[in-house]
C-alpha cells in the first residue's frame, strides 16, 4: 500500500518581488493618476499667478527703482511650498489606502519580512517622487516665466539647480510622509500631520521674533526644506538643512519599520 504525499509550497516574496508588486500597485490605481494630474494643474496655475504678480510688482516700482529680471526657477520654489501637501498626499496613499481597505493584511502575508514592505514602498516611491518634483518644478517655472514676460530670467544653470533642489526636497519630504503614514495609518491623520510639519508649524515659527523658535522651525522638516530651497543661511546653511531633511526621512522610515513590525496589521 502506498501513501500519496502532497507538498504545499507557500510562496513568499522577497524584497525584489515586493518592489515589483508595489510598482504594479502604484500605477494600477486611479488615485495615482488623479493626484499627478491635479498636482500638475495646480502647479501650472500657481506659476501663472506668481509670474503675473512678479511682473506687476516690477512694473510698478517707485521712480528710480529699476528691478532686474527674476529667475524662473524661483517661481518653481514658491509654488512647491504650497504644492508639497499634494505631493505628500501622493506619497502616503500607498500606505493609508491599504490600511483603510484592509489589504495591508494581504501585503504582509505575501511579504513576511515586514521591513521589506516599508523598504519596497520607499524604493518605488523615491524615484517617482523625484520625477514628480522635476515635473511640477518645470511646469511652475515655464508657466511663471511666460507670465513674467521680459522680466523672466531663463538662465539654464540656475534653473537646473532649482529643479534638482525641488525634486530632492519633495522626494525626502515624501519618504518622511511614508514613515509617519505607517505610524498614524489613517489618511486624514497622516495628511494633517504632514500639513503641520511640512508647512504650517515651520511657517509660523519661522516668522517669530524669538530666536529659539526660529531655530526650532529650521530643525523641522518643512523649515529645513524652505531653507534648502531658498538658499537661506540663517540659521542653517542649505547644506546643513539638507542633512536635517535626510535625517527626518530616515527617522520617519525607521519609525515606520518599527511600528509595522510590532503592530498587528
DSSP 150-217: GGEE--HHHHHHHHHHHHHHHHHHHHHHHHHHHHH-SHHHHHHHHHIIIIIHHHHHHT-S-HHHHHHH
Kindly tell me if the per-residue pLDDT of 8 is higher than 80: no
Residue 253: pLDDT band (50, 70, 90) is: very high
More confident residue, 7 or 108: 108
Please check whether residue 230 lies inside any domain of the structure. yes
pLDDT in tens, 239-248: 999 999 999 9
pLDDT in tens, 151-196: 999 999 999 999 999 999 999 999 999 999 999 999 999 999 999 9
Please check whether residue 105 lies inside any domain of the structure. yes
- In this prediction, residue 185 carries a pLDDT of 93
Please check whether residue 5 lies inside any domain of the structure. no
Task: For residue 109, give the C-alpha cell.
Answer: 502575508
**Selection from 95, 115, 123 nearest residue 262 by Cα:** 115
- In this prediction, residue 265 carries a pLDDT of 59
- In this prediction, residue 58 carries a pLDDT of 85
Kindly tell me if the per-residue pLDDT of 40 is higher than 60: yes
Please check whether residue 62 lies inside any domain of the structure. no
- In this prediction, residue 9 carries a pLDDT of 40
Query: In terms of DSSP bridges, do strands 70-71 and 152-153 run parallel, antiparallel, or are they unpaired?
Result: parallel
Please check whether residue 253 lies inside any domain of the structure. yes
Kindly tell me if the per-residue pLDDT of 7 is higher than 60: no
Of 53-67, 127-141, 167-181, the one with minimum mean pLDDT is: 53-67
Q: What is the mean pLDDT of the chain?
A: 90
Please check whether residue 104 lies inside any domain of the structure. yes
Please check whether residue 199 lies inside any domain of the structure. yes
Domain limits at 190? Answer: 15-57+67-262
Please check whether residue 2 lies inside any domain of the structure. no
pLDDT in tens, 187-239: 999 999 999 999 999 999 988 889 999 999 999 999 999 999 988 888 999 99
- In this prediction, residue 12 carries a pLDDT of 47
- In this prediction, residue 260 carries a pLDDT of 92
Of 59-63, 125-129, 256-260, the one with minimum mean pLDDT is: 59-63
pLDDT in tens, 102-128: 999 988 888 888 999 999 999 999 999
- In this prediction, residue 13 carries a pLDDT of 53
Specify the number of domains making up the chain. 1
Please tell me the number of Cα atoms within 13 Å of 129 on its side-chain side.
32
Alpha helices in 60-155 (DSSP H): 72-101, 104-110, 114-148
The pTM of the full predicted model, rounded to 2 decimals, is 0.91
Q: What angle do CA 96, 97, 98 make, to 5 degrees?
A: 90
Task: For residue 249, give the C-alpha cell.
Answer: 526621512
Determine how many CB atoms are found less than 10 A away from the CB of residue 248: 24
Q: How far, in Å, CA of 212 to CA of 39, rounded?
A: 34
Amino acid at each position: 500500500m502506498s501513501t500519496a504525499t502532497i507538498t504545499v509550497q507557500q510562496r513568499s516574496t522577497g524584497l525584489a518581488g515586493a518592489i515589483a508588486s508595489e510598482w504594479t500597485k502604484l500605477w494600477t490605481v486611479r488615485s495615482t493618476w488623479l493626484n499627478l494630474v491635479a498636482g500638475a494643474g495646480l502647479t501650472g496655475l500657481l506659476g501663472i499667478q506668481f509670474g503675473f504678480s512678479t511682473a506687476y510688482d516690477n512694473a510698478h516700482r517707485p521712480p528710480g527703482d529699476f528691478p532686474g529680471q527674476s529667475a524662473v526657477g524661483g517661481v518653481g520654489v514658491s509654488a512647491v511650498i504650497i504644492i508639497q501637501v499634494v505631493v505628500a498626499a501622493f506619497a502616503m496613499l500607498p500606505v493609508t489606502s491599504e490600511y483603510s481597505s484592509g489589504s495591508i493584511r494581504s501585503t504582509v502575508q505575501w511579504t513576511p519580512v515586514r521591513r521589506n514592505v516599508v523598504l519596497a514602498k520607499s524604493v518605488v516611491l523615491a524615484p517617482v517622487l523625484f520625477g514628480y518634483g522635476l515635473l511640477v518644478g518645470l511646469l511652475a517655472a515655464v508657466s511663471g516665466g511666460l507670465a513674467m514676460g521680459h522680466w523672466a530670467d531663463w538662465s539654464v544653470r540656475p534653473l537646473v539647480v532649482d529643479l534638482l533642489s525641488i525634486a530632492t526636497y519633495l522626494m525626502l519630504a515624501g519618504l518622511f510622509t511614508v514613515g509617519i503614514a505607517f505610524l498614524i495609518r489613517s489618511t486624514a491623520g497622516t495628511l494633517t500631520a504632514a500639513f503641520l510639519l511640512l508647512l504650517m508649524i515651520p511657517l509660523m515659527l519661522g516668522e517669530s521674533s524669538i530666536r529659539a523658535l526660529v531655530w526650532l522651525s529650521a530643525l523641522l522638516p518643512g523649515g529645513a526644506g524652505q531653507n534648502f530651497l531658498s538658499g537661506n543661511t540663517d540659521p542653517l546653511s542649505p547644506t546643513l538643512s539638507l542633512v536635517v531633511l535626510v535625517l527626518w526621512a530616515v527617522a520617519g522610515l525607521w519609525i515606520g519599520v518599527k511600528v509595522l513590525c510590532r503592530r498587528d496589521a
